[in-house]
Structure 1
Amino acid sequence: MPPSKRFALVAGETSGDLLAGLLLGGLRQRWPDLQSFGIGGPQMAGHGFDAWWPSEKLAVRGYVEVLRHYREIVGIRSQLQQRLLTTDRPDVFIGVDAPDFNLDLEAQLRTNGVRTVHFVCPSIWAWRAERVEKIRRSADHVLCIFPFEPELLARHGIAATYVGHPLADVIPLAPDRAAARARLGLSNEDEVVAILPGSRASEVQYLAARFFSAAALMQRERPGLRFVVPAVPALKERIEEAGRAAGLGSALIVTAGQSHTVLAACDVTLIASGTATLEAALFKRPMVIAYNMNWLSWQIMRRKQLQPWVGLPNILCNEFVVPELLQDAATPRALSSAVLEWLDAPAKIQALQQKFTALHETLRKDTALLATDAIKQVLES
């Protein structure tokens, strides 16, 4: 049996927890008695991960929002760094996404002789290109989930491996809509809109009310519509309250988690920009991507944007295959109209599904095996 390994991981939010959980599954196949610890969530815990802090502690997006939690986040990073360099030194540290937290931590650990891997290349091709220098200082190796990234990193002297996107291997090429609807108590005849206002408290704060106001407008035009929201358990009560305030009544179903079931079941989704948009694309669902944040954070972020697209499906397809309504453009009326347009465009949906199927096949690799092979090489280097 291969010798026991000690891996430290940090995943900063729901999507990172999902990616890290998939990675841990592969690592445990290679090293069955693996010890893993750090910052993570329930998906990681399911693989025996010892979470010293929950991933929700780092689930903050936006410059102003981060400032409000800055002292706590820096305190956690300082304590974690101290522990990893003294009492719980790992064989390798794997930072899963969360680059603002992980890259600085990786740089300190690497300086002190700990091997470091960063899983998910920061979006230097979309915004904040200056971050490439920090990646070079911080990571011995980068695991990339998009095929064009290793070549881009190689130009800057950064070792990287394309491992595919873990979600593309988990989500079936042909999702079973009928089975998903049965699990949610929906009929095959229902017209279903999935509403995903984000997994962070700040996202729910800025998006939930306008998403539900848009749903109320849709309901007036199409009274038979059903709305399903897969809520992060910690935010479920808050989301239910926003749904009640919008007067959606029995047309609204709020589930604890189950985002994949909801995406498989829906006809169209109104969705916050982020990893969930790629999940929706892999489920071959039409969508309207929206985002709204603190005004100052938005002004800073838009100045650093390098591409005309924000949503991952549009970035990966290199065109606006789905609409994006951001900041002031994300009004309830505009969101409602954009979602309803999809419901009346079956030919457009079919063309979109063909694009998403091709994208799915490109991203579909044995991610756990490829990532584990790359990590093994880092350990042996």
Structure 2
Amino acid sequence: MSDPLIFLIAGEPSGDALGARLMAACKRLTGGRVRFAGIGGEKMVAEGLDSLFPMGELTLFGVFELLPHLPNLLRRIDQTVAEVLQLRPDAVVGIDSPGFTVRVSKRVKAQAPDIPLIHYVAPTVWAWKPKRAAKYAAIYDHLLAILPFEPPYFEKEGLPCTFVGHSVVESGAGQGDALRFREAHRLAPDARVVAVLPGSRKGEVSRLLPDFRATLERLLPSHPELVAVVPTVATVRDRVAAEVAGWPMPTILVEGDGPKYDAFAAAEAALAASGTVALELALARLPTVIAYRLNPVTVALYRRLIRVKYVNLVNLMLDRMLVPELLQEHCRPDRLALELGRLLEDPAARATQIDGVAEVARWLGQGGTPPSERAARVVLEVAAGRPETTRPDKTRAQEPAWEKRP
């Protein structure tokens, strides 16, 4: 196929990272003979995407966070559908963000059923809303799953689904340089670094950073050498910088994957919002405490639907609470300080968590064919109209040897 046009849609930083790796892999596999259009963030733009509009307009989460922006989101859906219909790409790839990507794909399916539709990151039907499997089967031509147990949920509904592995294993999260970080920031030899990750959405930052500050303040009397490093992203950089400017301990703000992973290597523990970053921390073997809080009404709705015991994928795959999760009413500075202090003071607690996350990293595909390359092969094959060749061979080297099911 000559110079296929792939239309990509990402709606948040984690999807932007997935999209950028997918674009890079498509370019490698085609010798650069591939074109891109769609919506993405700074990483996808760096790979050559001219984003239709700023991705930050889609980075919303929760019922009450979404409502004020609904008119603009509906307008952006119309704009995106119109662009797809005008360009007639060889494939459309929606990357997570189902609130936006599914709506766009459904309308494209109705108006141009000949355009192949792919969704990257299978919805967590094993956790909540199992009927979504049938809904996706009615819209999409192929699904890319990041967890090894997901394909059967969709294949039984007639939707081809390929496990490609979790793209986070390509992030470089475990390859940071602690010495480089300490030298760059002129840290004292006895400085004890804690990574603080409040999320990539404005609502997350507003809800979590005050509690994270209070947590560190509780630890400061017993750990006067504490240094906080706060990785952030462009969408919330200014807000995070304003919040941490007055923290009572030395605080370093970093942006970009390289500095973030160097910070992980230099840190002894992390305090993080639930999300993809929890997997990055696992790959970096950095002991972590996970925290999260949403609007209480949103949480009440979710709790009626969710079917799993944990929010952190590490805990979910292990089926036990390895990484402490403090959510909603439990997300309090006193509880957070207790768990974070244990990781700073108890070598056995640190070792237990490090050993457990190493096993999960293997299950997610670390050490095999890069997930982005496997995903790119599927996308290019679907775009070329050869869906029968989209499945990689299910060899032991490609598939994690994990048989548990949620």
TM-score by length of 1: 0.94
- Name 1:30's counterpart in structure 2: 29
- 8 Å Cα contact 1:163-1:370 kept in structure 2: yes
- Name 1:370's counterpart in structure 2: 374
Q: How many residues align?
A: 377
Instruction: Give SS of 1:53's match.
Output: coil
Q: After the TM superposition, which residues 8-19 of structure 1 pair with which residues of structure 2 at under 5 Å, given as runs?
A: 8-19=7-18
**Cα distance between partner residues in 2 of 1:295 and 1:166:** 32
**Cα distance between partner residues in 1 of 2:155 and 2:318:** 23
The offset of 1:187, in angstroms, is 5.1
- 8 Å Cα contact 2:176-2:262 kept in structure 1: no
The offset of 1:237, in angstroms, is 2.8
- 8 Å Cα contact 1:64-1:297 kept in structure 2: yes
Q: Per-residue displacement from partner, 1:285-308 (whole Å, max 9, x unpaired)?
A: 111111111121111112211111
- 8 Å Cα contact 2:175-2:261 kept in structure 1: no
- 8 Å Cα contact 2:77-2:103 kept in structure 1: no
The offset of 1:270, in angstroms, is 0.6
Greater shift in the superposed pair: 273-282 or 231-240:
231-240
Moved over 6 A (4+): none
CA 1:194–1:104: 2 relative to 1, 3 Å: same
CA 1:286–1:50: 2 relative to 1, 3 Å: same
- Name 2:42's counterpart in structure 1: 42
- Name 1:289's counterpart in structure 2: 290
Instruction: Give SS of 2:224's match.
Output: coil
Instruction: Give SS of 1:124's match.
Output: coil
- 8 Å Cα contact 1:104-1:138 kept in structure 2: no
The offset of 1:148, in angstroms, is 0.9
Q: Which runs of 5+ in 1 are unaligned?
A: none
Instruction: Name the aligned partner's letter for residue 269 of structure 1.
Output: A
Instruction: Give SS of 2:144's match.
Output: strand
Q: Per-residue displacement from partner, 1:315-353 (whole Å, max 9, x unpaired)?
A: 122211111111111111111111111112212222221
- 8 Å Cα contact 1:20-1:44 kept in structure 2: yes
**Cα distance between partner residues in 2 of 1:328 and 1:143:** 35
| 2:257 paired with 1:253 | no
CA 1:186–1:29: 2 relative to 1, 3 Å: same
Q: After the TM superposition, which residues 171-320 of structure 1 pair with which residues of structure 2 at under 5 Å, given as runs?
A: 171=172, 175-186=176-187, 189-245=190-246, 247-249=247-249, 251-257=250-256, 258-320=259-321
- Name 2:124's counterpart in structure 1: 123
Q: Which runs of 5+ in 2 are unaligned?
A: 387-406
Q: Per-residue displacement from partner, 1:80-101 (whole Å, max 9, x unpaired)?
A: 101211x222110000110111
Instruction: Give SS of 1:100's match.
Output: helix
TM-score by length of 2: 0.88
- Quote the RMSD (CA, aligned, Å): 1.8
- 8 Å Cα contact 2:342-2:349 kept in structure 1: no
**Cα distance between partner residues in 2 of 1:221 and 1:275:** 31
The offset of 1:183, in angstroms, is 4.1
Q: Per-residue displacement from partner, 1:4-60 (whole Å, max 9, x unpaired)?
A: 111111111111101111111001112313221111011101111110112211111
| 2:100 paired with 1:101 | yes
